[in-house]
Amino acid sequence: VDQSLQRQPSTNHSVLYFDADKMHLINDSFGYEAGDKAIRTIATLIKENAGHHQAIAHLMGDRFALLLRDADSHAASARAQHILGLLERESLEREGKKLQLSASVGIATAPGVARNGAELLTIAEVASRGAKDRGGKQCAVFQPVDASLIQRRSDADQVGYLQMALIDDRFVLYGQEIRSLTETGAKKLEVLVRLRGDDGKLVPPDRFLPAAE
């Protein structure tokens, strides 16, 4: 990706981040062999429909990336929709159960939203999570004006900060008592986590839990 950006800095290059939907359901209901078959099916469809002179990567497990050189977000979205359409024709069947395959695709285009390959891949992943949050079986193009995707990007940027907080032991546990209004019995506590910020003050959970998740 970096080489493409360096060779053609003023040309649009798009990264498509594919994340298979419902893999836990597939593995639990149909078995890991079926899960592997689903991953192979997705890989084959991406490979056969990537176009010429493109780069494909198997990132991990059920996640793939496709680099479309000299392609803006509209061309990338059209390619993603085509692949998703083909994927919808594929399904798994076992003992009377049938499950249609699908994926969530995130699209990021340089030089509009990123300066290098690492940023482009991160933003494409953020966009794919946005597509999955919206129900899956679709693609999401990262746009700076998309509030939900910006929040995802912000969450991704916080990961390094949270890792350092973990190393520095700045997470604090609080026990909140759960007490019945009518019954007596063993004492119960709900354990809550707080983060102590750089200034020593406690950071509310809604500020860091989405990034932690």
Q: Which two tokens stand for residue 156?
A: 């991704």
Q: Which two tokens stand for residue 71?
A: 């392609």
Q: What pLDDT is recorded for position 156? A: 66
**Mean pLDDT of the region 108-119:** 86
User: Is residue 9 predicted with pLDDT exceeding 80?
Assistant: yes
- What number is the average pLDDT over the span 103-107? 95
The Cα angle at residue 18 between residues 158 and 119, in degrees rounded to 5:
40
CA distances to 9, 15, 107, 119 from 18, rounded to whole Å, are: 25, 10, 9, 16
- Tell me, letter by letter, the H, E, C secondary structure of 164-175: HHHHCCCEEEEE
- Please, which pLDDT band fits residue 88 given cuts at 50, 70 and 90? very high
Q: How confident is the model at residue 152 (pLDDT cuts 50, 70, 90)?
A: low
The strand pairing partners of 105, in sequence order, are 18, 139
What is the average pLDDT value for the chain, to the nearest integer?
88
Nearest to 62 by CA among 91, 103, 19, 105: 19
| pLDDT level of residue 37 (50, 70, 90 thresholds) | very high
Contacts of 194 (CB under 8 A, 6+ apart): 171, 172, 173, 174, 202, 203, 205
Cα separations in angstroms, 61 against 13, 86, 131, 179: 25, 21, 18, 44
Predicted confidence at residue 155, as pLDDT, reads 67
pTM, rounded to two decimals: 0.71
pLDDT tens digit sequence for 11-28 = 999 999 999 999 998 998
pLDDT at 147 > cutoff 70: no
> What pLDDT does 154 receive?
65
pLDDT-based confidence at residue 162 (cuts at 50, 70, 90): confident
CA distances in angstroms from 25 to 73, 97, 138, listed in the order given: 31, 12, 18
Q: What is the mean pLDDT of residues 139-158?
A: 70
- In this prediction, residue 161 carries a pLDDT of 80
Given a cut of 90, whether residue 180 has pLDDT beyond it is no
Q: Which residue has the higher pLDDT, 152 or 20?
A: 20
